[in-house]
Amino acid sequence: MKRWTSYHLRILKQQYSEKGAKYVAKRTGHPAYSVVIKANSLGIYSGSLRRWSQFEVNYLLRNYSAKPIESIARSLKRNKSSVENKARQLKIYVPKPKKWTEEQLEELKQLWTDKRYSIDEVAAKLNKTRPATHFQAWKMGLRRPQVWHFWTSEETKYLKKNYKKKTYTQIAKDLGMTRIAVFQKANKMGLRLRRTPRAWTAADDEYIRQNYRKIPTREIAAKLDRSLDAIINRAGPLGISNKGKKGKIKFSK
């Protein structure tokens, strides 16, 4: 940032109150927002500028990260430039985000109406903040699909009848819901989806024998697509478990 010289400060003190920030900026070569901040720090105010009240400052601090600058400016009956300058002075200013590309807008249309994705997930995929994504969707007139609703007696009966026969994903597709909605309802009803254990193959057993206690057990579980407990329990019948060895002490002769 350009340094304020004594000459620049003299122009600021003499001309700012009468001619404003733009005039001083032109004479000194400093940006207008820098002129305003410097003037405020010196207790110099332009006759054409309305001082910020504590209420306005608190409102800006509370809403800056959640609302667009234009919205804050309308609420405080100030112009956009005034809000940005105050944000810089309070050290909360964030540069204006890049404009949405046509590809991002098209992807937003597809993701926003897909109930499989939350707003946070949509924002992450587009590399945007949650407020920016929500605001852009609102400007485009996009509406989120209804994800939550009261379960009807028919839907509840269907879940109770099929939770042992079908996966939660299949039931969700049949009912037009999300998998998490079906899972939560089943959990609330005390229903547990029990899967038939997958048989162990000779290749699985050989991999465990070759790697157990040599690499982390979690890596073995991930490689074989099994749970951690399943690997530990399988090690016993294969004769490679740690059980029973911890209490043994070897004595030297």
In this structure, the chain runs to a length of 253
Quote the pLDDT of residue 195.
Answer: 57
What average pLDDT does the structure give for the chain?
81
Could you identify the residue written with the tokens 């060895």?
245
Domain boundaries, the chain: 6-89, 102-139, 153-188, 202-235
* pLDDT band per the 50, 70, 90 thresholds, residue 117: confident
CA distance 15 to 203: 85
Task: Taking residues 45-50, report their average pLDDT.
Answer: 64
Q: Are 112 and 122 in contact (CB under 8 A)?
A: yes
DSSP character for 247?
Answer: T
CA distance 27 to 77: 29
CA distance 2 to 94: 20
Could you identify the residue written with the tokens 């329990």?
233
Supply 44's token pair. 């110099």
Quote the pLDDT of residue 96.
Answer: 66
Quote the pLDDT of residue 1.
Answer: 64
> 108 vs 222, which has greater pLDDT?
108
3-state secondary structure 19-56: HHHHHHHHHHCCCHHHHHHHHHHCCCCCCCCCCCCHHH
Task: Taking residues 72-91, report their average pLDDT.
Answer: 86
* pLDDT band per the 50, 70, 90 thresholds, residue 97: low
pLDDT, one tens digit per residue, over 137-172 is 888 988 876 555 678 888 899 988 888 888 877 888
Quote the pLDDT of residue 85.
Answer: 85
* Cβ-Cβ contacts under 8 Å for 70 (sequence gap 6 or more): 80
Quote the pLDDT of residue 253.
Answer: 40
CA distance 110 to 100: 15
pLDDT, one tens digit per residue, over 178-201 is 777 788 888 888 887 555 567 889
Cα(first)–Cα(last) distance of the chain, in Å?
Answer: 78
CA distance 197 to 177: 27
Quote the pLDDT of residue 42.
Answer: 83
Residue 49 phi/psi, 5° resolution? -100, 135
Q: Are 116 and 178 in contact (CB under 8 A)?
A: yes
Q: What pTM was estimated for this model as a whole? A: 0.29
DSSP character for 215?
Answer: B
Task: Taking residues 102-128, report their average pLDDT.
Answer: 85
* pLDDT band per the 50, 70, 90 thresholds, residue 252: very low
* Cβ-Cβ contacts under 8 Å for 197 (sequence gap 6 or more): none
Task: Taking residues 35-52, report their average pLDDT.
Answer: 76
pLDDT, one tens digit per residue, over 221-248 is 878 878 777 888 888 888 886 654 444 4
